[in-house]
């Protein structure tokens, strides 16, 4: 999946681990070999890419 943040940055090719578990109000993702907890208030878009196209 890919995540666009409100500051214009992106987290591409990450794996969603959980939404709201452990840290309410956060997306827990695994990206670049590590875990990240992204505040949902900072997320502007989330999408999955399959076969080279936006789904």
Tens-digit pLDDT profile for residues 25-50: 899 999 999 999 999 999 999 999 87
Range of the domain at 28: 2-46
Asked if residue 55 has pLDDT above 90, the reply is: no
Asked if residue 19 has pLDDT above 60, the reply is: yes
- The whole model's pTM is what? 0.78
Per the CB < 8 A criterion, the answer to whether 11 and 46 are in contact is: no
- Is residue 32 in a domain? yes
- Is residue 55 in a domain? no
- Is residue 53 in a domain? no
Model pLDDT, residue 42: 96
Asked if residue 51 has pLDDT above 60, the reply is: yes
Question: How far is CA 49 from its chain centroid?
Answer: 13
């Amino acid at each position: 999946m890919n995540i666009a943040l409100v500051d214009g940055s992106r987290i591409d090719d990450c794996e969603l681990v959980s939404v709201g578990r452990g840290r309410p109000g956060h997306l827990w993702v695994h990206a670049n070999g590590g875990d990240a907890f992204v505040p949902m208030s900072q997320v502007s878009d989330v999408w999955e890419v399959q076969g080279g196209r936006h789904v």
